[in-house]
Amino acid sequence: MENYKFNEKQIQKKYFDDRWVRFAFGLQGHIKSENLSLGVVEFDKNIRSLTHAHEVDEALYVLSGKGQIDINGKINDAEKGDFLFIPKMAEHTIITSDISKLRILFIFAGKIHIDY
């Protein structure tokens, strides 16, 4: 029987230019899934991520830190405990200051592969 329980620390971090990610579920996940993508991402201090969009809806939950998320040109302050919704094809950017990192749980509604 497959083991369906695992800890975040068991997932290797994947490093990108502006963040690290632990993919729990999804095409790149610890558990492979085409219909659900979920993981944890952390942006360091003084980061402005690449502006990008996805072909599926995305939900975010801020686990720790403070920052801003620009969604289609609207700046949203984000801090621990906040939920944010990013509709499919909405351009968005993560912004942190020199004061705080930003750690987020992300969920994608469908098949997605992150390579940027």
For residue 7, the tally of other CB atoms under 10 A from its CB is: 7
| pLDDT tens by residue, 2-47 | 678 999 999 999 999 889 999 999 999 999 988 899 999 999 999 9
CA dihedral 25, 29, 31, 37 (to 10 degrees): 20
**Cα separation of 76 and 59, whole Å?**
14
Residue 88: pLDDT band by 50, 70, 90 thresholds? very high
Please report the pLDDT score of residue 110 as a whole number: 75
Q: What is the per-residue pLDDT for 38?
A: 95
Q: Is 18 helix (H, G, I), strand (E, B) or coil?
A: coil
**Is a pLDDT exceeding 70 seen at residue 62?**
yes
- Could you tell me the pLDDT band of residue 116, with boundaries at 50, 70 and 90? low
Q: What is the β-pairing status of strands 58-71 and 20-25? A: unpaired
For 79-108, give one letter per residue: b (16+ CB within 10 A) or e: eeeeebebeeebebbbbbeeebbbbbbbbb
Q: Please report the sign of the dihedral spanned by the C-alpha atoms of residue 8, residue 87, residue 55, residue 48.
A: negative
Domain 13-108 CATH superfamily? Jelly Rolls (2.60.120.10)
